[in-house]
Amino acid sequence: MAKLIPAAERILRARDLIQQARDLPVPAELGLNDLHYIAQVKDLLRQAKDLVKFISMTPTATAEMKAEVKAIYEEIDQADREILHPSH
pLDDT per residue over 12-53, tens digit each?
999 999 999 999 999 988 888 889 999 999 999 999 999 999
Kindly state whether residue 1 falls inside one of the protein's structural domains.
no
- Structural domain including 42 reads 7-24+31-84
With b for 16 or more beta-carbon neighbours within 10 A and e for fewer, the 40-53 pattern comes to ebeebbeebbebbe
In a domain, 54, yes or no: yes
What percent of the chain is modeled with pLDDT above 90? Answer: 67
Q: What is the pLDDT of residue 87?
A: 75
Number of folded domains in the chain?
1
